[in-house]
Amino acid sequence: MIEIERRFLVTEAPPDLPAPTVIEQAYLSTGPPSVRVRRADGRFVLTIKTGTGLVRHEIERDLDADEFAALWEVGTELRIAKRRFHVEVGDGLVAEYDEFDGHLAGHRLVEVEFPDVETSRAFVAPPWFGIEVTDDPRYTNRTIARDGWPT
């Protein structure tokens, strides 16, 4: 599956946020390709991503609790915890606004997935999105898990 996504730094949270989804993820490999396991809302998922920037390939598979637990133990050094808020941003698009927890507390990113490249290019980000970092690999979750927040 192809993922078309733009990412932005956030300096101030948008108003009236809905209840978040708590996400915990561990990287088995930061790649290429990157391989992670994620726990969110009682669901366990294995994800493999290749590529960088706007267009990447992504494969996701559900795991059962035992599979997740076994793989979770492999990624002990490369973990991220965050709260994700889904925020409508117009034209049927939904932003995934993340507030990081743990050692990354206080940092924020927002990303929007698009159905095609043309829609991504036409998208005008709301002011609260801040600086775009789509093409900066330092702001991928895999790099943040490995290297920490960029300075």
Residues taking part in catalysis: 27
Peptide bond into 33 cis (omega under 30): yes
